[in-house]
Amino acid sequence: MKAYLGIDVGSVTTKFAVIDESDQLVVSQCIRTQGKPIAVIQQGMRDISRQLPEGTEIIGVGTTGSARYLTGVVVGADVVKNEITAHAVGALQYVPKAQTVLEIGGQDSKIIIMRDGIVVDFAMNTVCAAGTGAFLDQQASRLSMNIEDFGPLALQSKTPVRIAGRCTVFAESDMIHKQQMGHSVEDILYGLCEAMARNYLNNLGLGKEILPPVVFQGGVAANKGIVRAFEAALKTEVVVPPHHQVMGAIGAALLAHEHMSMNGSVPTKFKGFGVSETEYGTSSFECKSCSNVCEIVVIKTGRETIARWGGRCGMWDV
């Protein structure tokens, strides 16, 4: 079987997806990044190689996410794309007429506006934890409950309370205050879901025409309480596609398929699953050649420099 590999390395989780030549998902994997992207990439490559059917040949690789360039160097990517493009392509694979994509990950969130299969607008939030999966994890931990129980419990709410959701600090103190007033955990949890949806739409969705079909993806899409809160706020159905958590990786694999099909005579740059055993070293330095003082990232195998990036002028790039 010939197949395409997509890798999405985020700040919280790293996702892998392998699709066949019919663009059907063969295997996928999701691992916590834990601040060690290279080690996690190598672990994921080992896991994926064991799950693939015998004789599978990877003929195209795409990378995306915050560490997409690093990942591309490590595995040998044929195409490196930003998260907006990857998530849009992934969403259209499962909801071909999608016009709005809501994506909430561990430490960032984004909204993508599409018309006729083309991205026409987008917005990202990467500087505030309010409205991200990490904040939900933190609150679930504070309440001594599993994050998987958060959504079902929130759906049991009868009279949700209003939580201040503009800031994680205020939201947490407001939740504690509501607990002290005697409100039930269910009402507080759904109140937080409503606050997250409200904060997301007031920030990322401000001034944007949000039209159905609306697709919700990312790890937080597994929370049914958040899904219902978005449906109530938007007054429309919110579609959570299959494999929503690895949609960025699926999009990267689809982009790799498209790229290789357009360049059929060019062989893949994929280095093989053996990269999981290669030792990589990373370092950085500040370039003093001009007033920009760019931070240059260097990646090596042994003494050989295999990549450098980070400069504005390209002087150091390999």
Residue 254 burial by Cβ neighbours in a 10 Å radius (0-12, 13-18, 19+): buried
The pLDDT of residue 197: 87
Which CATH fold topology does 96-238 show?
Nucleotidyltransferase; domain 5 (3.30.420)
> Going by DSSP bridges, is the β-strand pair 13-20/25-32 parallel, antiparallel, or unpaired?
antiparallel
The percent helix, strand, coil of the chain (3-state, each to 5) is 40, 25, 35
Check residue 4 and give its pLDDT: 96
| pLDDT for the residue numbered 315 | 81
Reported pTM? 0.86
Assess whether the region 2-87+248-277 and the region 96-238 belong to the same CATH fold.
yes
Query: Per DSSP, what are the bridge partners of residue 307?
Result: 299
At 128 the pLDDT is 63
- The gap from C-alpha 248 to its chain's centroid, in whole angstroms, comes to 6
pLDDT at 246: 93
pLDDT of residue 41: 92
pLDDT of res. 149 = 81
pLDDT at 129: 57
pLDDT at 89: 96
Strand 79-80 and strand 109-115: the pairing is unpaired
Q: Per-domain residue ranges for the chain?
A: 2-87+248-277, 96-238, 279-318
Residue 118: predicted pLDDT: 93
- Decide: 15 and 83 in contact? Cβ < 8 Å: no
pLDDT score, position 130: 59
Please, is 122 exposed, middle or buried when counting C-beta atoms within 10 Å of its C-beta (0-12, 13-18, 19+)? buried
pLDDT reported for residue 215: 96
Query: Does residue 211 contact residue 99 with C-beta atoms inside 8 Å?
Result: yes
Identify the sign of the CA torsion 93, 94, 95, 101: negative
Phi, psi for 70 (deg, rounded to 5): -60, -45
pLDDT of residue 127: 59
Q: Say if residues 88 and 101 touch (Cβ distance below 8 Å).
A: yes
What is the topology classification, in CATH, of domain 2-87+248-277? Answer: Nucleotidyltransferase; domain 5 (3.30.420)
Task: Report, as ranges of residue numbers, the positions in the chain whose pLDDT lies below 70.
Answer: 126-131, 165-169, 318
Residue 111: enclosing H or E segment and its boundaries? strand 109-115
